[in-house]
A and B are shown apart, each in its own frame.
Chain A
Amino acid sequence: MNSLKNFVLILGTCFLVPTYCMVVQPFAAERNRQTVPYVMEDPGSGKAFDAPESKGLSYPQAFAGDRKRGEEIYAQQGCAQCHTQVIRPDYAGIDQFKKGWGKGGGDANAVTRQTNMWDYMHEDFAMIGQRRIGPDLANAGYRFDGSTTETEPAKVKAAKLSALNNFYLYLYAPRARREWSISPGYRSLFITRIKEGVGSELALKLPNNLAPAEGLEIVPSSDARALADYVLGLKRDQPIPVSITGAKPKESK
């Protein structure tokens, strides 16, 4: 074994096989992944079907708004250093049962479904995250979507705006919302400017000690708005098509 040629051959083989299995093959599988349409009726038996409200849709839905740019900012600001976006099955953690980590919001009985490969297929790099210092964000969209029982358009709009303002406040001054938070505030994603008239509806509603001087307002920059598009679009608790799970989904309440 004292020849360089043999050494390189054996070394190359030792590297090549795992590189194919652990890198190239999973990459190819993700590149070839297709969205799965919800089907109302199984063509063969006519039995299995997805929920009627999903008719005509595919899973997962394509990105909307400025989400691509938001994804980039999420990466550049290092959000993934402290925030995960993954709901693991119960053998690996309590994720599915954490309060408020799924669609259920504050409902203590809500079980979040675990994330799967399709959930991330529109992303260049799935932000699974390196550590979980802050709350999981796999379903952060539900927390800030301002869902309400009201039907009046003005009130629905107000609820959505209030939820969005909440998100920007978290981003600007996390401790104004939760005093034990160790999340940094992202001041550089906001602009302080002179208030015009009643001011922007997106202007931060800050507690007195953080509020800007009279006549000024702090508004999210275009980067912050793109980040909001991204985070508010993180909704991975949608029903999975029957063709993936192979089982009829539970009746939704």
Chain B
Amino acid sequence: MSHEKVHYRTICNSERATSSLENMSSRLFRVATTVAGVAATTVLAGCASDAPQDTWKPAGPNAQKIQDLQWPIFLTAGIVGVIVMAFIAFCVVKYRDRGQAIPDQAHGKAWLEYLFIAIPAVILTAIAIPTVGVVMALNDTDDTECVINVTGQQWWWEYDYEVGADGTICGYAPSEVAASPIITSGQLVIPADTKVLLRGTSRDVIHSYWIPRLNGKRDMVPGRVHFLRLESDTPGIYAGQCTEFCGLSHANMRMETVVLESAHFQQWIDNELEPYQAPAEGGLAAEGETTFIAQCSRCHQVNGLVDPGNGNLVVSYPDQFVYSGAAPNLTNFLGRNTFAGATWDLLTPECRTDVWESSPEEFGDKYLAGVSQDCLNEIDLREWLRNAPAKKPMYADPAMLEQSDGKVRGMPYLGLSEDQIDQLIAYLLERK
């Protein structure tokens, strides 16, 4: 449990204790309960640190800028609201018909009306000025230290790490010269304390990239390139969800951004660019490799995979089979810990808690260990391999596939046998 959470928990507990102020005089009691009520609300807001997409818990400077701008505005809105409500309540109680005379039929008071135009105008001007400043700051792209391309499609995100002119990725030089680019999906891995700029678009409909604790959202629109700043100084996994309605499985299009400190990020890059290691001959994983080549490799790329049957490099061509033209690169599939649009966990619940809720210091090592056999959430993965569209809706009506040039919307039903699934899992367990 993080230091921050302990802090909030403590306040939450002490708050419960203060609510038993009973033997006070009634007037004082009223004041005290009011204050306690306001305080409790404020503190309880803090107690929600557990929600992974909490928009009020910034974990990086971009989200922090938004938070610094918005909390005084929420507070002001709250105060204005309380004043208006109190005023309405006062009128309702005070001027109730108790048989008083018919009031003067006055049509208004000019000065009062001007005053009530002036007050909101002043408040709103005070809000507008810093707003414009933050809008500009959040759209700044001059200070970028690392560019990562992000592409949305129904219903997952692909990441493509840009290699700089000096051969570095985000300023980190790979230990070996890369044979393939780094292409991943679902979980975006970025170095800590680095001003990352996502350069995004979409292959089909509009999607929106949103990691609430790192920044606001930005739509990724086909035919356009949009930018989004991301930065964090705290290693960890930050959850997000596609927030532009993108069709049937919009709810099943999630993503995470993983922040690794410098040394760990270097390690991650090196691991991603490691040459392909074929499974040991004769094992279940080797059978899995054959099954993978036969069943999966038309769409899914595993970098460096060589077909032992003919010695050819296996290259996927999803544009022939999938409507969006892409399928996730599985080179280091179990180096990530979620799959199918980051919707299901590759980790069992216990292992997930261990990784996701570890301290920033321990997080990097735990994440880089990938998913071990003991920790693999086989239930969801097997269900997925058995019949993917049954788990994640890909099309409302299979007959309608014809209208998409005969291409599938996502992973189709493959009719794999249980043996084949065993083989594939053994093979995939080595992909990390």
The answer on A and B forming one complex is no
Seen from chain B, the residues whose Cβ lies within 8 Å of a Cβ on chain A are: none
